[in-house]
Structure 1
Amino acid sequence: KCNLFAKDIRRGFGFKKQNDQMDVTAGQNNYKKIKLFLIFFYVLLFLSCTQQDGVKSVSLQYRGNKAISVSFETGNAQDLKIFVRGEAKTSVLGDIKSLGHKHSFTPIVPFSAGQSYEIRKGEKNLALFKVKNQSNLDPPQLINIFPSKDTVPENLLKLYLIFSSPMQEVGNALDFIRVYNETEQREDELFLKLEKDLWNNDHTRLTLWLDPGRIKTGLIPNKLRGLPLKKGNSYTLTVSDKWKSARGIALPKNYTKRIVAGKRDDNMPNILTWELSSPRANTKDALRINFGESMDAVLAIESLRILFQGEFSVGGNYRLDEQEEVILFTPVNNWKKGTYDIISESKIEDLSGNNMNHLFDTNTADLKDSFLSETHYKRSFIVQ
């Protein structure tokens, strides 16, 4: 583009190419003036073209204590990416917006405090910036690992890690998680490595799937390698203290959890077998629902609601108890006398991924015709 533009300028000032030399149609004085102008113009044009990939005026924008975006100027922002300094492959996920030569990059998760980042095009580093340190902030905590019980079905489907604050998403979460098979004295790979980790919106809950292909009987991974967990074996899961929050603060310690593989679970949850307490009218007694087994902690909270007289939604708080075998519902207002319904979405699951419509492992021929398709199930109780 620069070369073509220069040719256009030469034509505009009356240059003609004859016998590999340039002739000027105007007089000698005009020739000198034009020559000086062209020299000046070519210098500017050269600087403009060579600086298209340059980056300048880099500045961070903060919201409270979080660095939420970085702005910069460059002639061409196409193919620019942001990397943690020293990270070779995985760029920071986010969106870039441009207005002329001014650009702004907003990461999905705020930049990490104290961390340095590079703006790159291909293999070329164009600029470096560092987020201010916020070492006075509290470190993140791993506050829960679900299921919370140690003994789980050998066909366990997934685990959840719950953090006190948003965590970084650099590389893969499994880089910070180690599983040691205590029984066989070796490290094990239990979890399915995904291209993108499964975080909730605020990056405080991570879902870890055990390989479904190894859990479903009849599939090739299951035939070749068997279940991720072997019945009777015990395992130690360790979450590394090298893992940092989105603010760049590392976990204060390694966290560990013991896992023992118990018997297989091939039963679907059934709302009719749940044990219910009887809250009293004119009180805020908690309704106690005992599932009879540990349930998927996230889906148990998301799947339930309470209706009064079949149509009025009852507001309140749901809290898991007794290693996710029990959920306690405390209403915002006092219970009224009358009939209530517990409505459960059919997606509610036990620890093996079995829901109210079908078993997770559905490869057995005699189960294929027994699928249900209900979206909700109901169970009534009376408050007196």
Structure 2
Amino acid sequence: MKCFSHKIRLCSFHSLIFFVLVFLNSCSQNQEDQLIIVWENDKAIGLEIPKHISMENLEVRLLQEGDRTPMLGSFEETDNGMLFKPLIPFTRGLSYELVSGDKQLGQILIPFPNMEDATPELQAVYPTQDTVPENLLKIYLTFSQPMKEGVALNYLTLLNSYRDTVPGVFLDLQPELWNESRTQLTVWLDPGRIKRDLIPNLEMGAPLENNQGYELMVSEGWKAQNGLELGTGFSKSFIVTQRDSISPNPDQWHITIPKANSRDKLKVDFLEALDYSLLQEVFTLQSEDGQEISGIWELGSEEKAITFSPNDNWKTGNYSIQIESRLEDLAGNNLNRLFEVDLEQPQNQKESTKLKEVSFNINDLK
């Protein structure tokens, strides 16, 4: 693979005091016996596995607090062996193992470049667009390091356009909703205030108001699991628009179909922003004989589109994009039902299914 910016051999990066490697089946330090971390833009986006390792029952797992969690990703053949590309880049400071069945073949710790770089950073806030519906349901915070749990609301503040703090906006959940690596936090706006005519809504009003501006503040001092504090604060401004009371409809999405015998990207344009976290979990692509096509899904700008890059050239034939119906828009409306239903209004009865399907055809004329 030539697309990656640089590689680091685990056994030779002596300057990293956090560095750990269990060699594959022996104490040999020959390059062909090494796991190699593949880096791109300072992110560990792959793990190169030597040629002599069999692909049978091969799996990469996250090691954390006694748990072994399988990593989602794909395996690709390279000149040096096999490349595992996780769906989400490896996290600095966490350990991973390579296993075949119940046998551990190797273990790595994704290192920090140095102690200064180990300071946690808030990398992104989702949704990334600067306009959100009045009934926005969730906000995602992603960090560079595993963070301390149970203290999020001490560091989150929502200001209105008058610079006043908006009280009681976020749902105080314990335990908090962190991903397995403790690097992504899901923050819910209070559903009891979002759904009209519920007691919290009647007493306190909706968390957000249409045509108003807000600023989300994340204050410094929030500690990572390594004990270091978030060095700088973060703010994100956004404008609120009218409520979203329509479910996403895959039949209306725009599909850019790639050419046969190419590795062009398949693009799916949703025409609206959808839920950042769910977008990374709900898509698969199948050929007409029901076989899953291997490749990489990547989110587009403002979570309004997704692309698929196949591992092999596209062949002519029929394909189907399988979408789990739990996929939501920013207001929590999924492909089967609305988050909030007005019981006084007649409802269109729609069949609930676990999967929705979008089909397309690739032919030689493309």
Q: How would you bin the TM-score normalised by the shorter chain? A: 0.5 to 0.7
CA distance in 2, matches of 1:196, 1:296: 21
Question: Gapped runs of 5+ residues in structure 2?
Answer: 1-16, 21-64, 68-92, 94-113
CA distance in 2, matches of 1:258, 1:107: 40
1:146 to 126, 134, 140: 126
CA distance in 2, matches of 1:137, 1:231: 40
Give secondary structure in 2 for the equivalent of 1:373: coil
Q: Residue 214 of structure 1: CA displacement?
A: 1.0
2:137 equivalent to 1:157: yes
- Paired residue type of 2:119: P
2:240 to 261, 273, 281: 261
- Paired residue type of 2:328: E
2:223 equivalent to 1:229: no
2:288 to 309, 314, 321: 309
Q: Residue 186 of structure 1: CA displacement?
A: 3.7
CA distance in 1, matches of 2:158, 2:346: 33
CA distance in 2, matches of 1:191, 1:150: 19
CA distance in 1, matches of 2:289, 2:243: 37
Matched-pair contact (CA < 8 Å) for 1:141–1:164: yes
Q: CA 1:232/1:327 → structure 2, altered by over 3 Å: closer, same or farther?
A: same
CA distance in 2, matches of 1:367, 1:190: 31
Matched-pair contact (CA < 8 Å) for 2:157–2:165: no
Give secondary structure in 2 for the equivalent of 1:378: strand
State the partner residue of 2:308. 329
Map residues 215-254 of structure 1 onto 2, 5 A cutoff: 215-254=194-233
- Paired residue type of 2:222: W
Deviation string for 1:60-96 (max 9, x for gaps)? xxx9479xxxxxxxxxxxxxxxxxxxxxxxxxxxxxx
Normalising by the residue count of structure 2, what TM-score does the alignment of the two structures yield?
Answer: 0.66
- Paired residue type of 1:192: L
State the partner residue of 2:176. 197
Q: Residue 242 of structure 1: CA displacement?
A: 0.4
- Paired residue type of 2:126: F
Q: CA 1:326/1:369 → structure 2, altered by over 3 Å: closer, same or farther?
A: closer
RMSD of Structure 2 on Structure 1 (CA): 2.3
Matched-pair contact (CA < 8 Å) for 1:271–1:377: yes
CA distance in 1, matches of 2:204, 2:66: 39
State the partner residue of 2:155. 176
CA distance in 2, matches of 1:222, 1:174: 20
Matched-pair contact (CA < 8 Å) for 1:147–1:160: yes
CA distance in 2, matches of 1:136, 1:373: 51
- Paired residue type of 1:163: F
CA distance in 2, matches of 1:269, 1:357: 9
Once the two structures are aligned, what percentage of the paired residues are identical? 38
CA distance in 2, matches of 1:355, 1:276: 20
Map residues 295-374 of structure 1 onto 2, 5 A cutoff: 295-366=274-345, 370-374=349-353
More helix by share: 1
- Paired residue type of 2:260: A
CA distance in 2, matches of 1:183, 1:107: 48
Normalising by the residue count of structure 1, what TM-score does the alignment of the two structures yield?
Answer: 0.63
2:260 equivalent to 1:281: yes
Matched-pair contact (CA < 8 Å) for 2:266–2:307: yes
Question: Gapped runs of 5+ residues in structure 1?
Answer: 1-62, 67-105, 114-133
Matched-pair contact (CA < 8 Å) for 1:180–1:188: no
